[in-house]
Amino acid sequence: MKNLQQEVAVEAAKKALAAGVSPVDAIEHGLSKGIREVGEKFARKEMFVVELIYAATIMEEAIKVLEPALKASKEKRTSVGMVVLGTVSGDIHDIGKNLVRIMLEAGGFEVQDLGKDVATEDFVGKAMEAAASLVGASSLMTTTVQVQKELVEALRAKGIKAPMMVGGAAVTDEWAKEIGANYASDANSAVVIAKQLLGKR
Ligand code: B1M
């Protein structure tokens, strides 16, 4: 595990902030690049699950350094909408979803984050209870994207008309269109698309 060094990642995050690098760029062009490389090595069987877990821990620690700057990077406004957000059932990946939450909150949304491995009925129940203006579902695996389709169907079956936004490594624009949802490729565009969907600037 000699290339997985938490202190180095945390130090690099601090240095990036001190050098005036935007926290979004530090994540998208720094930390995310690193963790995706780990994912590729894992897929090629050059790394084990334990290393994947350790890499995720390192990424989370480095994000903690950047989080205050991320939140401060957008001015606070009155709520532009209520988003019910989570990672779909069967999927425990939540680093990207957490970034989406941070950016949505920074963009003025109220977010009910249901966490990861969220049962479809919990998404539906919370969307009704909170009168969600938007439902957001993340999925990182080809084995769990199908759950996003089930979720859209379950929401519509209950008469919930709130638009649905989907994202995550296993999701494509084509898939989103096929299931009647809207695709966002990263946390920044998630905010732009959420605002477009709600008719906000
Ligand atoms: Co896993 N994992 N993992 N993993 N993991 C992937 C997804 C994988 C592609 C790696 C690989 O093999 N190359 C592969 C899935 C293959 C497939 O599709 N079938 C995989 C696998 C197989 C697994 C396990 C099954 C491994 C095992 O146990 N044998 C297991 C799954 C368990 C389960 O979920 N039931 C597993 C476990 C884990 C860890 C727990 C170790 C850890 C997650 C820790 C955590 O999230 N707390 C982990 C990690 C870290 C990864 C990779 C390496 C990195 C994911 C990540 O955090 N990326 C990943 C490889 C990859 O993605 N290429 C991989 C950084 C993050 C900032 O990006 O999540 O894409 P991302 O989010 C982006 C955008 O996608 C977008 O905005 C974010 C910010 O820009 N976005 C949205 C995300 N959600 C959005 C929602 C929106 C809008 C935009 O609207 C609602």
Q: Which of 23, 104, 109, 16 is nearest to 69 (CA)?
A: 23
pLDDT given at position 77: 52
Amino acid 172: pLDDT? 98
- Structure token pair of residue 81: 């909408």
Mutate to test the pocket of ligand 1, among 114, 140, 165 (most ligand atoms within 8 A of CB): 140
- Nearest residue (by CA) to ligand 1, atom 5, is 39
HSE, side-chain direction, 13 A CA sphere, residue 52: 15
Q: Which two tokens stand for residue 173?
A: 């624009």
Q: Which two tokens stand for residue 137?
A: 């579902």
pTM beyond 0.85, yes or no? yes
Nearest CA to ligand 1 atom 52: 39
CB of 38 within 6 A of ligand 1: the answer is yes
- The segments of the chain whose pLDDT lies below 50 read 1-2
Q: How many CB atoms lie under 10 A from the CB of residue 32?
A: 17
CB 26 within 8 A of CB 44: no
Q: Which atom of ligand 1 is nearest to the CA of 143?
A: 19
- Ligand 1, pocket-test mutation among 4, 25, 93, most atoms within 8 A of CB: 93
Per-residue pLDDT, 73: 64
Predicted confidence at residue 201, as pLDDT, reads 64
Give residue 122's pLDDT: 98
Cα separation, 38 vs 55, whole angstroms: 7
CA distance 115 to 151: 15
Q: Which of 146, 86, 181 is nearest to 193 (CA)?
A: 181
